[in-house]
Every structure is written in structure tokens, then in C-alpha cells.
Amino acid sequence: MAATTNKQLISWIDESAKLTQPDSVIWINGGEAQLAELRKQSVASGELIPLNQEKLPGCYLHRSAQNDVARVEDRTFICCPEEKDAGPTNNWKAPAEMRAQLETIFSGSMKGRVMYVIPYSMGPVGSPFAKYGIELTDSIYVVLSMAIMTRVGNSVLNAIGDTGDFIKGLHSKAELDPEKRYIAHFPQDNTIWSVNSGYGGNVLLGKKCFALRIASTLGRDENWMAEHMLILGIEAPNGEKRYIAAAFPSACGKTNLAMLIPPKVYADKGYKVWTVGDDIAWLRPGNDGRLYAVNPEYGFFGVAPGTNAKSNPNALASTARNTIFTNVVQNLDDNTVWWEGLDKNPPENALDWTGKPWNGKTAATVGAHPNSRFTAPAINCPCISDEFENPAGVPIDAIVFGGRRAKTAPLVYQSRDWAHGVFVGSIMGSETTAAATGAVGVVRRDPMAMLPFCGYNMGDYWQHWLDMEKSLTNPPKIFNVNWFRLDDEGHFIWPGFGDNFRVLEWMLRRVRNEAEANETALGYLPKPEDINLEDFEIDLAALTDLLSIDNALWKEEAKGIREFYGKFGAALPAKLAEQLETLENAL
């Protein structure tokens, strides 16, 4: 039974049901009884496998189809009326054409199935930042995952009331046919259609589809920003808290940075890190001219491999209960989970991510898929911030961009001002990861870590970033980091993880005008001695190397940037073209 009389909502659901022809329609009310019943059904059907309920209470394992393990960027479309508004970095199709094509695929796709109606909120319900969505889906996995990742239920229907103010998402697993898999966005209708996939970023429509692609277009029109950013708080020994937002591409360290534990020397002094968000930030100028951020999500959809008690104990603790694991190893001895990098003791009596028998001691192949993930409630996180539910958000002092670069980018540098900071974000490059299908380890330009997530022309998006400065009398300082420089043997030079705190601390000293820096072609770089080396194993020579700029490599880089910028034609903001010239001249 619908807990709403909203005519627009009900008629859209009727229309969608007419198209997909489910046997029945069930409204998700957000209550535990209904979710428990759905878990029971999904266990009966094999969609979820219950894990050891003593060791992992409320936890389940899910195995996706083997051809459906990551976002499909080549099948993701922005369907705005004009191709030029999607820009050169998005796939585009005319809305009518895409609708017609997808209607054929959706037609009857829910026959013999239930259509679930999920009312959900991105952001705390009622917050000035919050936006609401309705996802229609034929997947219980999607319902249960959305109930972890977003705020779900009748409170959202109440907040929507009789308005048309909600994002319409239609998802069907259909036949999971990769040839008919499409993730289509219709920004002018606030509509998302996703079909033939069951993988997170393709089907949990609140996340990348709504909170980034659609929301970025809303932000452009309403003077705010939707970004692929973590949000963390740093508490100083005197109790002062400052907030940092950081944009790194997929599988480049956002969850890890958001939950980091400061090195012992800092922890002993009383420094703490608090997590506000690990993937998405919605940012709005406040009345005081500062930039405020909320995390619109309610859970973490985190990368499993590499997560362990040393690298990210807070993420591991977050997965201790009420978590859905996707595509990890099932340890048959005690019915728990395992993945590469969890510990040095892989189970011998196990099933790999595809469900085949797997012996971790002798197997030639990995047990967990490289993009295997956990879906965990944010409130499980031991370091979740007190401000996580603050409807007004947290004030941001620093914005950090970063990617995976084996050679080029130094450990850290600071932009000269806001416009230069926008330039620094726009020229980001990073090696591709398993989070999307396609080759891994290839360097591509990924401006602001938004290449796969910007819902409109990236050139216009850069202009929007530049324009935001007008609303900010006290804008955040903008930095760039690279935790991933390699030595000649291919090892990471920087130890990363907890020690990244040393770099964050330099940034906050810069914010307070308390730290030195060298002015270079790229911007302000710390001198090696400006980074706190107390109780640290790295030697000064390595740090000097990490903070060096190879002019020849950067001249090559500038050529690549010029080529990339060339794709945008008239949409490239003049200010960014000037910034590039300044860089080229300085090199």
C-alpha cells in the first residue's frame, strides 16, 4: 500500500509498472520487520548467503554475475537535449532515442517479479542540503543495499509530500545481459534508467547516478556543488575541529583517508580524525562566506581488498555487523569472509568470489574480485563524526585533489588561489583501477575525480567551479596530493595510510598561515623539513625526491593537458587556458 497520495509519484509508478509488468508492487517503509522478511526471501532464493551470525551478526555474502562486477562507463549515458551540453567526456544520446531503445529492453522485464518502491533521502531528511529520490527495482539486493547506503522509508514520502520534487529512478536486472546493459540519465526530467546490471555503482541509483551525475546539474543551476569527495574532521589537542574534503578517483584512497588513524606521535598528543563521508560531498556556500559540506550517504560501499586491521581498522570495524559483502571469498571452515590483503592467512577450505572451491594457500588466482566491496552502515564506524547527521554540514578549510601517479605529481602542493586550485583539479590525471570495467593502470585525465560522474559538459562544470568563488569570502585552500609515487623498483616511496596525516597537518598549518613553503611552477611545495618527521621511518632523501618536480616530465604533462583542454573548444573557461599558459611558461 502506498503511504502517499502524491499523484505525480503514483502515476509515474503506474506508468513504470505498465512498462515492466511486475506481478506486484511493494512499498519499502524503512521498518526492520519488512527488511528482515526480504533478507529471509533473498536467502531462500540464494541471492544472499547468511554468514556466521556469531562472528558477523547481520552480515551476508552476495555474488554478482561474473560479467557484472564494476561500473560500465562505456554504457553510461547523459541524455540531455543537446549533445554539446553533455560535453566531450560523456556518452550522449538524444533523450527520445534512448527512451525508445530502453523501453524495448524494460518492456516486461519484471514479469514474474516484484517491483519494490524505495523512497530514499540523500542527506539528513529535512536538511537544506537533502534531496529525495524514489528507486523502483526488481532486486532485493538493491533494496537491502539502499537501506544501508541511504535513509529509506516513509519519512521520505512525508518530506516529498505532494510535490514533484524527487528524482525518479527505474532499475531492472532484466536478464543481466551485458549487451543490453545501460545506465542512462535524463537530467532535464530528473530521471535515471538502469537496466541489465546488479552492480553497486550501476544500480544503487542514489549514489553515482543521483548524488553525482544528476546532482551536479542541480548544483550548477542552484549554486552548489556535488563532488566525488570524502569529508574528514581533524581534532587538535585543544579540541578545535577543522574539516577537509578530498577528491580522488575510484579506488584511489578516499575511504582510507576518511578513516585514518594518526601516527602514534600525533595520537599521543591528542590528535584525532573523524569521518563525515568517504565518497560523496555536497557543498554549499554558507551565510558566513565559507563552504559547508554534508555527506549525502548513510553507509559505505567500500573496496574490500587491501582493507585490514593495520591499513584501515575503522573500515574493518564498520563491516563487523549488518554488512553485505559482494564478491569476496567465503571461508567454509567458519563461514566468514576473506579477501586479498585482509591477513597473511588465506583460508584453504573456501569458495572464491565466483563460488568455486578455492584453496588460498595453493590457488593461482585471486580469491576475491579486485573490485569486491562491502556495504556497511556508517553508524558502525568507530570514528564516525558527531557532525555526520548535522543538517547544516561542516565548514571546509581545505579541498584536496589527488590521484595515482607513478612519477609526475609530487607528494603535495598547494595552489596559489581559488582559480589556480580549480586549474589544479582540472588537470588531475590518474591510473585506472578495477572500479570500472576496462584496462587497469592506464593514465587518463580525471578532472576533480569526476570524469565518469559529471552530469554535464565538463567545461561548463569548470566554469561553475570558478564562479563559486563569488559566493565564498573565505574559500577553502586547495591542495593536490599523490600517495602513489614509485621508486625504480616499482615500490611505493611514501608509506601512505596513517602517515598521510603528516601531509594533512602541513595543510592545516598552511590554512592557519603557520607553515613555510617554496613557490614553484606548480604552486607552493613544502620543504622536506616542513613535513613532521618525528618517529617516522622515511629518510630525508626519499622525502626530497617525493617533493621534487621533474621539469621534462611536466613539459610532457602540459602537452597532454593542452591536448585534453583542446577537446572542449569554446566550453573551456578562458581562466583555465590562462592558467595553462602560466604553467607552460614557468616550466
Q: Which of 47, 68, 135, 279 binds Mn ion (CB under 5 A)?
A: 279
Q: Which of 201, 296, 346, 475 binds ligand SPV (CB under 6 A)?
A: 201
Distance from C-alpha of 396 to C-alpha of 296, rounded to nearest angstrom: 16
Q: Provide φ and ψ at 148, rounded to 5°.
A: -90, -40
Which positions from 415 through 444 interact with ligand SPV, judged by CB under 6 A? 435
Distance from C-alpha of 296 to C-alpha of 230, rounded to nearest angstrom: 11
**DSSP string spanning 333-353?**
TTTEEE-TTS-S---SSEE-T
Query: Judged by CB, which is closer to ligand SPV: 250, or 331?
Result: 250
Grid coordinates of 301: 560501499
Distance from C-alpha of 383 to C-alpha of 379, rounded to nearest angstrom: 9
316 Rama sector, left if φ>0, alpha if ψ -120 to 50, beta otherwise: alpha
Task: List for the chain the helix, strand, coil content (%; round to 5).
Answer: 35, 25, 45
Binding window for Mn ion (CB under 5 A); candidates: 162-170, 264-272, 276-284, 566-574: 276-284
Interface mask toward ligand SPV for 542-571; x: CB under 6 A? ------------------------------
Number of residues that bind ligand SPV (CB under 6 A): 9
**Active-site residue list:** 252
Q: Should residue 448 be labelled a site residue for ligand GTP when binding is judged by CB under 6 A?
A: no
Q: Should residue 245 be labelled a site residue for ligand GTP when binding is judged by CB under 6 A?
A: no
Which positions from 445 through 484 interact with ligand SPV, judged by CB under 6 A? none
Binding window for ligand GTP (CB under 6 A); candidates: 127-135, 152-160, 251-259, 450-458: 251-259
Query: Judged by CB, which is closer to Mn ion: 227, or 279?
Result: 279
Interface mask toward ligand GTP for 63-102; x: CB under 6 A? ----------------------------------------
Which positions from 37 through 66 interact with ligand SPV, judged by CB under 6 A? none
Of how many residues is the chain composed? 587
Number of residues that bind ligand GTP (CB under 6 A): 22
User: What stretches of 46-176 adopt beta strand conformation (E)?
Assistant: 49-50, 60-62, 76-78, 91-92, 114-122, 131-137, 151-152, 167-172
Binding window for ligand SPV (CB under 6 A); candidates: 6-14, 200-208, 239-247, 462-470: 200-208
Query: Judged by CB, which is closer to ligand GTP: 139, or 255?
Result: 255
Distance from C-alpha of 406 to C-alpha of 490, rounded to nearest angstrom: 8
Buried b (16+ CB within 10 A) or exposed e, 88-106: bbbebbebeebbeebeebb
Q: Which of 64, 90, 139, 255 binds ligand GTP (CB under 6 A)?
A: 255
Ranges of H-type helices in 210-332: 215-222, 254-258, 264-269, 313-318
Which positions from 258 through 317 interact with ligand GTP, judged by CB under 6 A? 278-279, 302-303, 305-306, 311
Q: Should residue 414 be labelled a site residue for ligand GTP when binding is judged by CB under 6 A?
A: no
Identity of residue 201: G
Binding window for ligand SPV (CB under 6 A); candidates: 199-207, 233-241, 308-316, 487-495: 199-207
Which helix H or strand E contains 338, and what residues bound it? Answer: strand 336-338
Q: Should residue 251 be labelled a site residue for ligand GTP when binding is judged by CB under 6 A?
A: yes
Buried b (16+ CB within 10 A) or exposed e, 549-583: eeeeebeebbeebeebbeebeebbbeebeebbeeb
Q: Should residue 393 be labelled a site residue for ligand GTP when binding is judged by CB under 6 A?
A: no
Identity of residue 311: S
Which positions from 419 through 438 interact with ligand GTP, judged by CB under 6 A? 435
Q: Which of 217, 295, 500, 579 binds ligand GTP (CB under 6 A)?
A: 500
CB-based contact 522:583 (threshold 8 Å): yes
Which positions from 266 through 325 interact with ligand SPV, judged by CB under 6 A? 279, 301
Which residues are at the interface with ligand GTP (CB under 6 A)? 248, 250-256, 278-279, 302-303, 305-306, 311, 435, 483-484, 492, 496-497, 500
